[in-house]
Amino acid sequence: MGKTRLEAFSDGVIAIIITIMVLELKVPQGSDWQSLQELLPVFLSYVLSFIYLGIYWNNHHHMLHTVQRVSGGVLWANLHLLFWLSLVPFVTGWMGENHFAALPTSLYGVVLLMAALAYWILQNCIISTSGGRYALLAKAVGRDRKGKISPLMYAVAIPAAFWSQWLAGALYVDVAVMWLVPDRRIERVIAE
Amino acid sequence: MGKTRLEAFSDGVIAIIITIMVLELKVPQGSDWQSLQELLPVFLSYVLSFIYLGIYWNNHHHMLHTVQRVSGGVLWANLHLLFWLSLVPFVTGWMGENHFAALPTSLYGVVLLMAALAYWILQNCIISTSGGRYALLAKAVGRDRKGKISPLMYAVAIPAAFWSQWLAGALYVDVAVMWLVPDRRIERVIAE
Amino acid sequence: MGKTRLEAFSDGVIAIIITIMVLELKVPQGSDWQSLQELLPVFLSYVLSFIYLGIYWNNHHHMLHTVQRVSGGVLWANLHLLFWLSLVPFVTGWMGENHFAALPTSLYGVVLLMAALAYWILQNCIISTSGGRYALLAKAVGRDRKGKISPLMYAVAIPAAFWSQWLAGALYVDVAVMWLVPDRRIERVIAE
Amino acid sequence: MGKTRLEAFSDGVIAIIITIMVLELKVPQGSDWQSLQELLPVFLSYVLSFIYLGIYWNNHHHMLHTVQRVSGGVLWANLHLLFWLSLVPFVTGWMGENHFAALPTSLYGVVLLMAALAYWILQNCIISTSGGRYALLAKAVGRDRKGKISPLMYAVAIPAAFWSQWLAGALYVDVAVMWLVPDRRIERVIAE
């Protein structure tokens, strides 16, 4: 089975997730600065989630670039990743509308952690079903420092949110900044 | 007429259905565990419907893979399937927000049953318009046990929901689990 | 300029329009038959609009099939058509929620009429910019009876809605039924 | 990396933005002329934003047409543009629902200005990463009068909205009209 429809479907779902997230930025009643300021936390959480979804789309793009054919297992591992990403608008809205309260900020980390695990499962699924053909991908992933540090940082942020939501927020921002540099690992190994 | 636009349109519609369904997970007012727990039935029905739509996308993917050209009849049979799938977010939200009450749980089964019939019509449409070219598909479908058992299970669940909604729910979960294994029938017959 | 992106963009917009329309089917508070019955007019108007959008997608599909390259004028004529189609969910919801009251039912016809005009402009745009290359399309369209009768029927339905909304509704259903047969004109002329 | 997925993703996001914007046209309670008239400002701002998004899609289409491969920087510059475009439905709804009040009308200009800057960054990104290969694009852009005048007009409209929102509105309409002619610069230079 070809990968074209898998890419098109994933692009569609991520494009919709990234765009319906803006519906949480509800048009306020008033037309003064006050009503705009009240939207600031929702706006900030929107920016953060937009960047995260952009990172996932970018890395997904890079990873599938190395793949030629997909198995049934890869299709489901991909749907599993999309499931967790589809929950991002909900936790983004909940965190923003509650001004980064403890529980929503912690749950935001849970969804990011589950998405990171789903991405890792998808990666392994591609490598294992390829029967050694994606040794390049396996090699690139082997030294994957960012992919190992991110879940650790989420795992720290999830309980930390109950102690200080700003620390949790700072960890989420840190991970996003770390990933903003696109996934050059694969590019580099292919170039070799 | 080529099948590319049919696939792209179907992917688009299914991607949007699967994603707007998450809008039924409405961001709660409070930020405590209580408000999160109240969302649990909506979340569970979301998970179930996400899996069902994933199954439809997967099987649709497999079935169209065997097709080269589509007729006007196939276009409309496909739109008919998308119509019933487009009602899934509505019944999912209604069932979840009413904590699996009898009527919504029964209606959920009606929509699943109609979608299953629409899928069966689409399948027959492809086989009949192909003038024997898709004998492989016909052969694969001939022994189609899962495709025959699923509508029966929905037909049992629809009245059963008024007696015990948990029995109906268990039947929906059973069908989903049964289908989670992708449609290997077609893969197998092609391999022969 | 190629037509691939034009087709993909149009498919995307029509897929989203057809799917967000279901959001007007708002999940009711109660879980009894009563709450379901109240949704019947919205559901019926949803079915009608779903068929109309399916017809537009099908015919758009057929028409662009004959085209190889698109000009700037065609791009804008296409966006103009998409603009009127994008208003379909609004008039569908308004008509359904007001149980086919006179003004919403009339406005529904206005949007259908404008969409029909936009389709006709797009068709002429494709024929004129092709410099005679689409003589086949021009020939097919020349005898276009359905394309000439539909706007007339909308033009009758728009004022008729203020006298009898059921007459207007019957006219909308008639046009939809008339078009359900896909646009065989183009298929036939190409076959010759 | 190929440009296909970049185009598909951008098309998807712009198609969704343009379509969910219509959700701000909320179905009114009543079914009389009065309720329709109250929607007029929201409708007018919808028409304006639909044209702006159409312009962006058209020009994006033209610009990427000259590109063969995309770098990581181009991917992010493109996401940056999509971010600002994703805020268009919010400012459109806010401006329309407040009948073109000063602050929302000014903020509308801010989002347009940021989108224009993002487009300019994306353009430069494509030119610089191409290592001179897109000298044609650079040449076309060099004489880019419309691209230089638009941000100036937005920059005038942003403070002007607090003095006269109609002047600001007129400036937005002027820019849209100016751009409605598709980006012939690139077509012309390629033709040479």
Task: Compare B50 and B182 and report the one with higher pLDDT.
Answer: B50
What ipTM, to 2 d.p.? 0.87
- Does A4 have pLDDT greater than 70? yes
A interface toward B at CB cutoff 8 Å?
1, 5, 8-9, 12-13, 16-17, 20, 23-24, 72, 75-76, 79, 82-83, 86-87, 89-90, 93-94, 97-98, 101-104, 107
Does residue C69 sit in helix, strand or coil? strand
How far, in Å, are A10, A18, B12, D13, D16 from residue A15 at the CA level? 8, 5, 11, 5, 8
What's phi and psi for B132, nearest 5 deg? 85, -10
pLDDT, tens digit, 9 for 90 and up, residues C97-138: 999 999 999 999 999 999 999 999 998 888 877 665 556 666
- Does C20 have pLDDT greater than 70? yes
Cβ separation C65–B16 shorter than 8 A: no
pLDDT at C41: 92
Q: Which chains touch B (3 or more CB pairs under 8 A)?
A: A, C
pLDDT at D178: 82
Cβ separation C72–D28 shorter than 8 A: no
- Does A159 have pLDDT greater than 60? yes
Nearest CA in chain C to D180: C76
pLDDT, tens digit, 9 for 90 and up, residues B86-143: 999 999 999 999 999 999 999 999 999 999 999 999 988 888 776 655 566 666 666 6
Q: Output the six-digit token pair for C147.
A: 């394309």
Nearest CA in chain A to D17: A19
Task: Tell me if B111 sits within 8 A of B87, measured CB to CB.
Answer: yes
Q: Output the six-digit token pair for C146.
A: 């359905």
Cα C128 from Cα C71, distance rounded (Å): 11
Does residue D98 sit in helix, strand or coil? coil
Cα C9 from Cα D25, distance rounded (Å): 22
- Does C183 have pLDDT greater than 60? no
pLDDT at B66: 72
Cα A181 from Cα A121, distance rounded (Å): 22
Cα D160 from Cα D169, distance rounded (Å): 10
- Does C47 have pLDDT greater than 90? yes
Distance from CA of A173 to the nearest CA of D (A): 17
Mean pLDDT of C29-48: 90
Q: Which chains touch C (3 or more CB pairs under 8 A)?
A: B, D
Nearest CA in chain A to B18: A13
pLDDT, tens digit, 9 for 90 and up, residues A58-87: 888 878 877 777 777 888 899 999 999 999
Task: Tell me if D122 sits within 8 A of D102, measured CB to CB.
Answer: no
Query: How many Cβ atoms sit within 10 Å of the Cβ of residue A44?
Result: 16
Among A11, A22, A27, select the one facing D12 at the smallest CB separation. Answer: A11
Residue closest to A111 by CA, chosen among A172, A178, A42, A41: A172
Q: C16 contacts in D (CB within 8 Å)? A: 15-16, 19-20
Does residue A69 sit in helix, strand or coil? strand
Q: D103 contacts in A (CB within 8 Å)? A: 31-33, 36
- Does D130 have pLDDT greater than 70? no
pLDDT at B132: 58
Distance from CA of D39 to the nearest CA of C (A): 11
Among C15, C32, C47, select the one facing B16 at the smallest CB separation. Answer: C15
Reduced 3-state DSSP string for chain B: CECHHHHHHHHHHHHHHHHHHHHHCCCCCCCCHHHHHHCHHHHHHHHHHHHHHHHHHHHHHHHHHCCCECCHHHHHHHHHHHHHHHCHHHHHHHHHHCCCCHHHHHHHHHHHHHHHHHHHHHHHHHHHHCCCCCHHHHHHHHCCHHHHHHHHHHHHHHHHCCCCHHHHHHHHHHHHHHHHCCCHHHHHHHHC
- Does A93 have pLDDT greater than 70? yes
Residue with tokens 């509704």: C169
Does residue D2 sit in helix, strand or coil? strand
Cβ separation C103–D50 shorter than 8 A: no
Does residue A2 sit in helix, strand or coil? strand
C interface toward D at CB cutoff 8 Å?
1, 5, 8-9, 12-13, 16-17, 20, 23-24, 72, 75-76, 79, 82-83, 86-87, 89-90, 93-94, 97-98, 101-104, 107
Does residue A73 sit in helix, strand or coil? helix
Task: Tell me if A27 sits within 8 A of D107, measured CB to CB.
Answer: no
DSSP C21: G
Cα D4 from Cα C5, distance rounded (Å): 10
pLDDT, tens digit, 9 for 90 and up, residues A100-130: 999 999 999 999 999 999 999 998 888 877 6
- Does D100 have pLDDT greater than 70? yes
pLDDT band at B187 (very low <50, low <70, confident <90, very high): low
Residue closest to C94 by CA, chosen among C85, C83, C86, C106: C106
Task: List the Cα angle A121/A126/A129 in 5-degree steps.
Answer: 115
Nearest CA in chain A to D21: A23
Task: Compare B186 and C150 and report the one with higher pLDDT.
Answer: C150
Q: What is the largest CA-CA distance in chain D?
A: 61
How far, in Å, are C45, C92, C108 from residue C100 at the CA level? 9, 10, 10
pLDDT at A72: 77
pLDDT at D32: 87
Count of CB pairs separated by less than 8 Å, A with B: 73
D interface toward A at CB cutoff 8 Å?
1, 5, 8-9, 12-13, 16-17, 20, 23-24, 72, 75-76, 79, 82-83, 86-87, 89-90, 93-94, 97-98, 101-104, 107
Cα D69 from Cα D71, distance rounded (Å): 7
- Does D113 have pLDDT greater than 80? yes
Among D22, D62, D65, select the one facing C90 at the smallest CB separation. Answer: D22
pLDDT, tens digit, 9 for 90 and up, residues D39-86: 999 999 999 999 999 999 988 887 887 777 777 788 889 999 999 999
Cα A150 from Cα C34, distance rounded (Å): 51
Mean pLDDT of B73-92: 93
Average of per-residue pLDDT values in chain B: 85
What sign does the CA torsion over B5, B6, B10, B16 have? positive
DSSP C22: G
pLDDT at A110: 96
**Percent of chain A whose pLDDT exceeds 70:** 85
Query: How many Cβ atoms sit within 10 Å of the Cβ of residue D75?
Result: 21
Distance from CA of C103 to the nearest CA of D (A): 6
Q: What is the largest CA-CA distance in chain C?
A: 61
- Does A151 have pLDDT greater than 70? yes
What's phi and psi for C106, nearest 5 deg? -65, -45
- Does C58 have pLDDT greater than 90? no
Q: B24 contacts in C (CB within 8 Å)? A: 27
Contacts made by residues C159-162, CB under 8 angstroms, sequence distance 24+? C159/C106, C161/C102, C161/C103, C161/C105, C161/C106, C161/C109, C162/C102, C162/C103, C162/C106
Mean pLDDT of B76-84: 94
pLDDT band at B145 (very low <50, low <70, confident <90, very high): confident
pLDDT at B179: 82
pLDDT, tens digit, 9 for 90 and up, residues D134-183: 566 666 666 667 778 889 999 999 999 999 989 999 999 988 888 876 55
Test the A interface: residue of D79, D84, D108, D111 with most A CBs within 10 Å: D79
Mean pLDDT of A31-47: 91
Cβ separation A75–B65 shorter than 8 A: no
Cβ separation C54–B79 shorter than 8 A: yes
- Does B47 have pLDDT greater than 90? yes
Q: A7 contacts in D (CB within 8 Å)? A: 5, 8
Give Cβ neighbours of residue C107 (< 8 Å, ≥ 6 apart). Answer: C91, C94, C95, D36
Cβ separation C31–B94 shorter than 8 A: yes
Cβ separation B12–C7 shorter than 8 A: no
Mean pLDDT of C60-86: 86
Distance from CA of C90 to the nearest CA of D (A): 6
Cα A13 from Cα C177, distance rounded (Å): 33
How far, in Å, are A52, A146, D79 from residue A175 at the CA level? 9, 9, 18
Q: Output the six-digit token pair for B9.
A: 């349109």
pLDDT at A59: 85
Cα B65 from Cα B129, distance rounded (Å): 16
Residue with tokens 């696109």: A182
Quickly list DSSP for D18-70. Answer: HHHGGGGSPPPS--SHHHHHTTHHHHHHHHHHHHHHHHHHHHHHHHHHT--B-
Lowest mean pLDDT among A139-153, A174-188, D7-21, D64-78: A174-188
Beta partners for residue A2, in sequence order: A69
Q: B26 contacts in C (CB within 8 Å)? A: none
Quickly list DSSP for D137-189. Answer: HHHHHHT-HHHHHHHHHHHHHHHHHHH-HHHHHHHHHHHHHHHHS--HHHHHH
Cβ separation B31–A93 shorter than 8 A: no
Task: Tell me if D23 sits within 8 A of D92, measured CB to CB.
Answer: no
pLDDT at A13: 93
